[in-house]
């Protein structure tokens, strides 16, 4: 008599969690923009047996944005998940994995991210600032002012903007713009950049030194401006050899 089919894998089973961990590593290491994501919930898992010792696993994951930029060397396990009050962003991912002789590898992944609704945030936290569009004029001027401020006060490498990661604007009780952005060191010192900023180029990938800045600009009732930038240190590009990637989007 044929053997009974194995019981379906539960979303909290160790095997499902191991697959989700591999999938999360893959998603974070193959993303080049925004922030690292942390696992919030395994929504569903399906195992499609192919041959003995060869299974295809289909995972649906619910992820949450962390405070670590994707270029940060910090392992995602040490990254703080954005709180609800910070206007959380969720990622929904479908991942296809292969489990061959016990070894997991990702074959494909597809993710969509979306911010929590403003109504939800305001319901629990009426004074919390909400996410603003990254091309908002106030956001862009704040980012430029923050980078100029940092470069004018530091004699080290002249920093260039890589991307704006997040921006929030609060209108009451105070008018405040919060921005976060990724930067990269150029081949110029801040002093040399004053002479000819156009000549300042980003360093090649193998010498790149990325960083991250946060800035808070209080516009009213009293003006204030705080900028904090730090460089991650020299980064070696991550190898993809740990994953057998055939297709991803």
- Taking the complex as a whole, the smallest distance from the CB of residue 17 to other proteins amounts, in Å, to 8
Residue reference for tokens 């690292």: 36
Angle among Cα 141, 181, 228 to the nearest 5 degrees reads 90
Answer for which of 15, 84, 170, 225 binds other proteins (CB under 8 A) is 84
Each residue 5-44 as x (binds other proteins by CB under 8 A) or -, in order, gives ---xxxxxx--x---------------------xxxxxxx
Q: How far is 197 from 151, CA to CA, in rounded Å?
A: 11
Site residue total, other proteins (CB under 8 A): 23
Burial 7-23 (b: 16+ CB within 10 A, else e): eebeeeeeebeebbebb
Q: Given the rule CB under 8 A, which of 81-89, 93-101, 198-206, 240-248 is the region that contacts other proteins?
A: 81-89
Whether residue 221 has a cis bond before it, omega within 30° of 0: yes
By C-beta, is 88 or 140 nearer to other proteins? 88
Q: How far is 53 from 214, CA to CA, in rounded Å?
A: 49
By C-beta, is 9 or 161 nearer to other proteins? 9
- Taking the complex as a whole, the smallest distance from the CB of residue 60 to other proteins amounts, in Å, to 8
CA distances from 2 to 6, 92, 139, 191 (A): 12, 38, 64, 77
Restricted to residues 92-151, the positions that interact with other proteins (CB under 8 A) are 116, 120
- Taking the complex as a whole, the smallest distance from the CB of residue 135 to other proteins amounts, in Å, to 24
Restricted to residues 50-69, the positions that interact with other proteins (CB under 8 A) are 62, 64
Q: How far is 211 from 150, CA to CA, in rounded Å?
A: 12
Q: How far is 52 from 71, CA to CA, in rounded Å?
A: 39
- Taking the complex as a whole, the smallest distance from the CB of residue 115 to other proteins amounts, in Å, to 9
- Taking the complex as a whole, the smallest distance from the CB of residue 83 to other proteins amounts, in Å, to 8
Answer for which of 19, 24, 45, 139 binds other proteins (CB under 8 A) is 45
Q: Which two tokens stand for residue 182?
A: 């990724």
Answer for which of 15, 21, 90, 94 binds other proteins (CB under 8 A) is 90
Please tell me the number of Cα atoms within 13 Å of 245 on its side-chain side. 17
What is the length of the chain? 249
Q: Which two tokens stand for residue 2?
A: 């044929």
- Taking the complex as a whole, the smallest distance from the CB of residue 9 to other proteins amounts, in Å, to 7
Which parts of this chain interact with other proteins (CB under 8 A)?
8-13, 16, 38-45, 62, 64, 81, 84, 88, 90, 116, 120
């Amino acid at each position: 008599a044929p053997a009974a089919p194995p019981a379906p894998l539960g979303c909290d089973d160790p095997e499902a969690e191991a697959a989700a961990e591999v999938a999360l590593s893959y998603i974070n290491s193959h993303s080049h923009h925004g922030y690292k994501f942390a696992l919030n919930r395994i929504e569903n898992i399906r195992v499609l047996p192919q041959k003995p010792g060869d299974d295809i696993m289909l995972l649906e994951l619910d992820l949450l944005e962390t405070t670590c930029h994707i270029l940060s060397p910090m392992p995602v396990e040490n990254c703080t998940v954005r709180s609800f009050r910070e206007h959380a962003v969720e990622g929904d991912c479908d991942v296809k994995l292969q489990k061959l002789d016990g070894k997991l590898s990702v074959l494909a992944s597809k993710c969509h991210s979306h911010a929590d609704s403003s109504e939800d945030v305001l319901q629990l936290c009426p004074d919390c600032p909400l996410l603003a569009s990254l091309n908002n004029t106030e956001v862009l001027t704040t980012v430029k002012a923050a980078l100029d401020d940092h470069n004018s006060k530091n004699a080290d490498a002249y920093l260039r903007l890589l991307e704006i990661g997040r921006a929030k604007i609060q209108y009451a009780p105070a008018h405040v713009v919060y921005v976060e952005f990724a930067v990269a060191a150029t081949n110029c010192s801040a002093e040399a950049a004053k002479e000819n900023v156009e000549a300042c180029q980003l360093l090649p990938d193998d010498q790149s030194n990325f960083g991250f800045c946060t800035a808070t600009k209080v516009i009213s009732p009293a003006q204030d401006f705080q900028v904090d930038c730090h460089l991650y240190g020299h980064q070696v590009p991550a190898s993809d050899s740990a994953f057998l990637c055939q297709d991803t989007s």
